[in-house]
Structure 1
Amino acid sequence: MLSSSHDLKVGLRSLAKERSFSVLAIFVLAIGISAVTTQLSVVNSVLYHAFEFPQADRLVDVRMVDPNNFTPTNFNSIMSTKDFVEVQEIATSFDELAAYISGSTVNIRYKGQPKRLTGAYVTHNYFKTLGVSPEIGDDFRPENDRVGAEKVVLLAHSLWKSDFDSNPNIIGESLRVNGNVATIVGVMPPRFNFPTREQIWIPLNSEFPVRERGDPGINFVDALGRLKGDVSIDQAQLEMTGIAQQFSQNFPDTNEQFTRGFVRPLIDYFTPGNLAGTILSMLAFCIGVLLIACVNVMNMQFARATLRARELAIRASLGASRYQLIRQMLTESFLLAAIGGAIGVSAAVWATTALDTHLHTNTRQIPSWMIIQIDPKTLGLVLGAVFISTIASGLIPAFFASRTDVSDTLKEGGRGNTSKAALVVTRSLVILQILVTCILLIGSLLQTQAIIRQQSLDYGYDTESVLVTRLGLMEGDYPETADRVDFYRKVLKTVEESEHFEYAAITNRFRMVFSGNGPIEIEGREYVQNTDRTNAQFERISPDFFNTLDVKLLEGRFFADFDSDQRDPVAIVTESFARTHFPDESAIGKRFRTTRANGTFAGPWRNIVGIVSEVRMHGPFNAEQEIPGFYVPFFNNAFGPAEDIPVAPQFGTILARPRGGQDPLLFSQQIQELVNKVDPNLPLYFTETPRIALDNFTAQSRVVANLFALFGIIAVILAAVGLYGVMSFSVNQRTPEFGLRMALGAGKPKILRMVINQAAWQLGAGLLLGIGAALAISQLGGQGLANAFFGISPRDPLTYTIVSVFLILTGLASTYAPAIRATKSDPMVALRTE
């Protein structure tokens, strides 16, 4: 104990004496440990311990999928309400099987105030399947989940607090939900907003009756199950494949292609492969930063141990054993690592809390139940990293320094010396730093370019010049399609006649980001295989849609009020549609129709009456190449047989262009007032410009890009510090040599070249190895990595060139000061020393 206490005191005095070294070492260790701790917390919280449900490992996502072009992260699946009812009756692998529709619009009116909420429609056993019960009141009962049942709802705890004043007597109170009177039967526990950010839950079958397959009004659901204790995921998947094949044979019109069951852990549904890949890539970057930090500290320890050779020799001559010398140096290393670890963990706690807050409050939030936090296992890993850092950054330098011959060192007069082995180790560590930094910089620059490209996509119109707002027409207020048609016509006329707006239109597109796509057939062409049919984007629009967006007509005409499927099915196509399907002739007058992938459920042959300039109909998610698209009049279905009467979707988006180029956001209140002239109970939501919506959908990508850029900057700083430290150490060791060379006639330029050449070959070796490693990683990543970079090749020559030039300049800048110092060596001092 006495010797340990003595070692600590000596170690603290030594570190205090060498403040520059101590601060730098603690700084680089703290950065590395903080980055890895934070990212490990993200990995642990998102990928492995996001759920806090009882026996969460038994919860699974259940689907029937198309095996063609199937991957675990990209597939076509089906589960209609009718499918679900029959699967529930047949499947034996599950203790419970529940269905749900999440992220839905729910319009409520409470105490005279209309409001739009995000809700979920769930089967009565949904919460039982998850293993969760209401905190106040009761769960749904089977009799609540039937056609014609009295409406009941469960509230999220956050909604109960914000909109219902935490009223403890809320159970039994009534409110209007989607135009119908409903009774509040319970309040869920705090932070339960599953599946994503739901605020209210409604029994599924009371709102969406089960319809027969092929019915145009049939609804599709997600399904989750709780596996029986003796059933594995593979066994459940095998059973679901059998059920899917049975449905495919019995119901070929709807289920023919869906012949494979797909059962996976439920958490995988919320953390798909691309998200998991991004998170793990960030973890790899953080580990790279920690590796550079540890290498830096080790190199500094080598330099420090060599410069202390005389001190250690004197201690040895006074009786200190080699074990005692190593123990003392390890104690100092442990103090550095402990202080750096403490600061790093403290910084990680702050960073984790800040990241959790940001991800739950930015415009594209993560699910509220997904909490980013540090847990004991993560802290244990960090402590292990600190211990390894201690050993790695102290033991090897201590070993080299302590084995130096005492008499030789004392004869050297304090100059210190360095063994060839120590030089090889320090220079190899510099090469390793440059190698890792090169990989990190290439990755971060590619990611940054991808985000910039994603942000700067050309959508074919000015995304900041129009106001868009979303609305939902629920069955309680609009039970028939004729009611919805009448509403849309009235509200469009009201907005068009307003003094505030020059043009107005209606579309089915969600926030100007999502619409839909499906297979099409061109008249006169044969389709032998299902894969012969290509997909096309579609959108339902009112006549002034293109005027509102200021999109150019290239050929033909825009839609008129008289256009309808009842009169003559027509379509307007994008420039890319015309170019793709009619490359050598005009598309005007040509016909196409929509189908399912197998050629069934064909729509009417549509006559192409117009071609418009390219408008991006989906984004900003796929790479630069946009799928060709077409438009149909708003009161017609884009897919399926033509209706006998005009039809209107339940959800729509109003677009309005203000007069005189004014800021659209200034008219948010006016658009609500205009809509309420037609329906005073209808709340609008997502009132914004298209640019705001697009930025919303890329918010998390920007966070990721910023983090990658931050890791790259940190890596460069650490690598520059490491190279500077090693070159300074080398110059200090070779000062007598340089002085002697100058005494024998060597000029300053030659000494300068000697130092720079030493750095240059280390830079060159690190760069070559780093570029080679980056190319190997890009090859292993394949198409998945290319897609993640949004059209930027993982082997982009410009990126590799920029990184190489930048690292060379950084390396030369780090070498310049030590090189200049070498040229100032005094020949007389060198000769006296010799």
Structure 2
Amino acid sequence: MGLDTFLQDIRIGLRVLRKERGFCFLAVAVLALGICAVTTQFAVVNGVLLRGFSFPDADRLVSVQMVDPATFTPASYQSRFTTADFVDLREQAQSFSAMTGYLGNTTVNLSFGNDAPRRLQGGYVPWDFFRVLGVSPARGRDFEAADDRPGVTAAIMLSDAFWRSAFGADPQVIGRPVRINGRAGEIVGVMPPSFAFPSYEHVWIPYNAEYPVRPRHDPQANHISVVARLRPDVSLDQAEEEVSAIARRFATDFPATNADYTLGYVQPLIHLFTGAELPTLLYTMLTFCAGVLLIACVNVMNMQFARATLRAKELAIRSALGATRWRLIRQMLTESLLLAALGAVFGVAGAYYATDWLNVAKANLTNPLPGWMVFNLDPVVLAVVVGTTVVAALVAGFVPAWLASRATTANVLKDGGRGNTGRSVRIVTRGLVVAQILLTTVLLIGALLELHSIRRQQTLDYGYDTTGILSARLGLMKGDYPDGPAKTRFYEDLLRSLQASPQFEYAALTSRNRMSLSRSARIEIEGQDYLRNTDRPVAIVENVSAGYFDVLGLNLLEGRDFTELDTDQREPVAIINTTFAQTHFGREGPVGRRIRTIHPTGERPGPWRRIIGVSPAVRMHSPLDRESDGSGFFVPFSATAVGPTPATANPANFSTIIVRPHPGQRPQSLALAVQEATGRVDPHLPLYYFLTPEEALAGFLTQNRFIAAMFGLFGLVAVTLASVGLYGIMSFSVNQRLSEFGIRMALGADRLRILRLVLTQGGKQLAVGLGLGLTTAFVIATIGGDTLRAALFETSPRDPLVYLSVAVLLTVVALLALIVPARRATRADPMVALREE
């Protein structure tokens, strides 16, 4: 095809589309919607799963773990890596050219100059961390081995964003002294703007300067996430075999701590952040978007069929004047390509807006995604847009053009433009409507299942008023609080300061993070035998101070509350929730019975705790914890929740303040009073996460709500497109059959019979499409049962109410789409029809 001919096709196509503005607008809008959806969702998939890290040879970076083979699955496993394990593995492993690690997404308390102390997101890393990743500071120097030792002045590496926001991009920041985690520090470098790892850290600190290596059996042993660079000549399987061999050696040499962790697990580093469920979810959403685009293409195809039929005489005349069949097809494909190109322009413009909005929304999440997960329309995404546009043009234009070009010139001219439609065209157009309804049914069922799952998460009963209290998080660092007695004194003084404040009705302390995240532990109940460690049930455990249940507005159902005299050193005690009592004691009275925790290895049992009370059925975990049955128990705040009792109390470094306002006060108004009460005890300690439990839980569910909204949007768009498609094909069919309807009415058919005739035709297409769609969705739910159940919260993927709701909704929407063309058919004029005949 010559350039001149192609340009001629373009000019003719533009002239035709300008003449048919209504068709052009609708077709472009429909395609733009589909292309925007696919482009945006592919940008998300590319940013999270495909692009990965910006480090050199990032595909050779792996996560190295030692796991318990008894409970291991790629989606769920127990892993272990103390700093002692890390040091020994790095010396022994030969499969890796370099090995480092990190403790990320954690707290750093920083102050400088006269500024108030602030809590930052920090990363603790070995001195060679950046070298192993293959990146260098943009300013200053990298960490050195001398920085990574206990007792030295802390070397601080800043992120580019924090350097700009906190220091105004001051180039003289290198060498500036700061106070970090209660001790002296010095800024040594600033990372490049593009660097963000492992999450969205503001600062990085040498690991051993803050968390020195401790023996494996030490209760205060530190843990680290291990990253290694795989040698070019070593495969993942080979590296995994070597790590497994070393893990078995550790289990033999250190049975008290490593006995269960005998399997090596080496995976691409990107998989550590995406997990097992996220790729499935994102690809499912991309499939939904592709389904929306396919429905859009089917709609445009049906409109093209209508146009081809109406243009049959034009095509016949051009054929009579010498145009070949391929020339006619090419002209119509050119018009389809112009429509798709216009749709792509508007679709990409919408995608730019959507990805910008997604990046802003991501940054504002309570629990943001890692900073390296950026959504943008890079060359890979734009290449997908071009491919999508070409596919959309071919799908929407080729079949109508091919069928329209088959018409015999003599027959078309003989019909005089009466508008008859070939049987093949009718079969194809009606089949496309059925396909639209099928796809829409599947998309809508998926959307409603996800929405139903989110609704269940948001309407959970936590057993107390989640809007009526305020929580705030704090972290005690070793520079200021080096041992248990120092932390105990601080917490005692803090609790007195809070409870003495007239601003609060009640105040207490808890270990639960944002009233959403608690730890769990395997337990034993006195008098029961356990053959294997996995036979021991898992329960949630929470450290709480006296007054905790008053803050929540709860009264114990049995027994008594904790007092200041309840310590593990005096007598280990516990309060269980109702779920725990019903699960493990049935109708027996639990007060006076004893329980204890067991370390995940099955060793190092905790003390036997006497149950002194039973609380109401308070929910101690967020909906994101899918493995707990709700059983939980509370221990005194200073108690060691898991493991043997130390000689002196050693409370946790991190805790949460919770306060209840006086009646008539808003919890959010107490933030300043909480900070002031804490400042009277330690003016250098920053508080963070000032949230009500409702706000905190909403933050954890934000991503799920966004996903549900996206699925809902996909479903709404699919329903709209399907109804438009059904309306369009029925309108076209009615227009083609107006003469037939007029003749029927002339022969005695009444309006009700004509109405029923049209509705029956549309109803058959609806019934077939709906039946196939429900069956397809059911088959998908059956095949992907476990995966789908894991992704849906307390929702069956075969929920009959959802399937019935979709069937009713589509039936109502289809009826509304059919009623207008059906009423038009009843107004056919018999005299006009007879004159045409």
Contact 1:622 1:790 in 2 (8 A): no
Partner residue of 1:71?
73
Is 2:49 the counterpart of 1:11?
no
Alpha-carbon distance in 1 for matches of 2:421, 2:224: 71
Contact 1:520 1:592 in 2 (8 A): yes
Alpha-carbon distance in 2 for matches of 1:55, 1:319: 59
Contact 1:624 1:790 in 2 (8 A): no
Alpha-carbon distance in 1 for matches of 2:439, 2:741: 32
Partner residue of 2:42?
40
Give the C-alpha shift of residue 375 in structure 1.
2.0
Partner residue of 1:612?
615
Partner residue of 2:354?
351
Give the C-alpha shift of residue 745 in structure 1.
0.8
Return the match for 2:131 from 103, 113, 128.
128
Give the C-alpha shift of residue 597 in structure 1.
4.2
Q: Scaled by the length of structure 2, what TM-score is found?
A: 0.98
Is 2:328 the counterpart of 1:325?
yes
Render the CA deviation track for 1:350-389: whole Å, top value 9, x for unaligned.
Answer: 2222212221233332212221111222222221221122
Partner residue of 1:781?
784
Return the match for 1:737 from 740, 756, 760.
740
SS at match of 1:660: coil
Following superposition of structure 1 onto structure 2, how do residues 57-136 of structure 1 map, counting pairs within 5 Å? Answer: 57-113=59-115, 114-136=117-139
Give the C-alpha shift of residue 801 in structure 1.
0.4
Give the C-alpha shift of residue 625 in structure 1.
6.5
SS at match of 1:539: strand
Partner residue of 1:803?
806
**Pair 319,166 (structure 1): closer, same or farther in 2 beyond 3 Å:** closer
Following superposition of structure 1 onto structure 2, how do residues 122-521 of structure 1 map, counting pairs within 5 Å? Answer: 122-521=125-524
SS at match of 2:663: helix
Q: What one-letter code is carried by the residue in structure 2 that aligns with 1:562?
A: L
Following superposition of structure 1 onto structure 2, how do residues 547-626 of structure 1 map, counting pairs within 5 Å? Answer: 547-623=550-626, 626=629
SS at match of 2:635: strand
SS at match of 1:313: helix
Contact 2:538 2:628 in 1 (8 A): no
Render the CA deviation track for 1:595-643: whole Å, top value 9, x for unaligned.
Answer: 1245320111111010000111111213597430001111111111112
Give the C-alpha shift of residue 478 in structure 1.
1.0
SS at match of 1:696: helix
Alpha-carbon distance in 2 for matches of 1:555, 1:699: 37
Contact 1:616 1:626 in 2 (8 A): no
Alpha-carbon distance in 2 for matches of 1:52, 1:289: 32
SS at match of 1:104: strand
Is 2:816 the counterpart of 1:813?
yes
Q: For structure 2, which runs of at least 5 residues remain unmatched after alignment?
A: none
Alpha-carbon distance in 1 for matches of 2:401, 2:584: 73
Contact 2:469 2:693 in 1 (8 A): yes
Alpha-carbon distance in 1 for matches of 2:641, 2:317: 89
CA RMSD of aligned residues (A): 1.4
Identity %: 50
Alpha-carbon distance in 1 for matches of 2:104, 2:460: 30
Render the CA deviation track for 1:306-341: whole Å, top value 9, x for unaligned.
Answer: 122122223333443333322222222222112112
Alpha-carbon distance in 2 for matches of 1:574, 1:525: 20
Q: What one-letter code is carried by the residue in structure 1 that aligns with 2:156?
A: V
Give the C-alpha shift of residue 584 in structure 1.
2.7
Render the CA deviation track for 1:211-248: whole Å, top value 9, x for unaligned.
Answer: 11111111111010111121121111111111111111
SS at match of 1:548: helix
Q: What one-letter code is carried by the residue in structure 1 that aligns with 2:739?
A: P
Q: What one-letter code is carried by the residue in structure 2 that aligns with 1:24?
A: L
Q: Which moved more, 1:562-571 or 1:606-615?
A: 562-571
Q: What one-letter code is carried by the residue in structure 1 that aligns with 2:437?
A: I
Give the C-alpha shift of residue 498 in structure 1.
0.7
Partner residue of 1:648?
651
Partner residue of 1:756?
759
SS at match of 1:169: helix
Q: Which moved more, 1:352-361 or 1:445-454?
A: 352-361
**Pair 597,350 (structure 1): closer, same or farther in 2 beyond 3 Å:** closer
Partner residue of 1:49?
51
Contact 1:535 1:627 in 2 (8 A): no
Q: For structure 1, which runs of at least 5 residues remain unmatched after alignment?
A: none
Alpha-carbon distance in 2 for matches of 1:461, 1:297: 53
Give the C-alpha shift of residue 832 in structure 1.
1.6
Give the C-alpha shift of residue 644 in structure 1.
2.2
SS at match of 2:171: coil
Give the C-alpha shift of residue 167 in structure 1.
2.0
Alpha-carbon distance in 1 for matches of 2:357, 2:637: 45
Give the C-alpha shift of residue 65 in structure 1.
0.6
Give the C-alpha shift of residue 472 in structure 1.
1.1
Contact 1:360 1:367 in 2 (8 A): no
Alpha-carbon distance in 2 for matches of 1:329, 1:646: 82
SS at match of 2:680: helix
Render the CA deviation track for 1:780-807: whole Å, top value 9, x for unaligned.
Answer: 2222211211011000000000000000
**Pair 173,597 (structure 1): closer, same or farther in 2 beyond 3 Å:** closer
Q: Scaled by the length of structure 1, what TM-score is found?
A: 0.98
The aligned length equals 834
Q: Which moved more, 1:731-740 or 1:437-446?
A: 731-740
Alpha-carbon distance in 2 for matches of 1:780, 1:214: 45
Return the match for 1:828 from 826, 831, 835.
831
Contact 2:68 2:263 in 1 (8 A): yes
**Pair 262,191 (structure 1): closer, same or farther in 2 beyond 3 Å:** same
Render the CA deviation track for 1:552-586: whole Å, top value 9, x for unaligned.
Answer: 31111111111111221110000010111101311
**Pair 725,400 (structure 1): closer, same or farther in 2 beyond 3 Å:** same
Q: What one-letter code is carried by the residue in structure 2 that aligns with 1:470?
A: R
Partner residue of 1:713?
716
Alpha-carbon distance in 2 for matches of 1:394, 1:62: 51
Alpha-carbon distance in 2 for matches of 1:753, 1:479: 84
Give the C-alpha shift of residue 17 in structure 1.
1.9
**Pair 224,623 (structure 1): closer, same or farther in 2 beyond 3 Å:** closer
Q: What one-letter code is carried by the residue in structure 1 that aligns with 2:248?
A: Q
Alpha-carbon distance in 2 for matches of 1:280, 1:685: 35
Contact 2:467 2:692 in 1 (8 A): yes
Q: What one-letter code is carried by the residue in structure 2 that aligns with 1:73?
A: A
Contact 2:95 2:242 in 1 (8 A): yes
Contact 2:471 2:692 in 1 (8 A): yes
Q: What one-letter code is carried by the residue in structure 1 that aligns with 2:423?
A: K
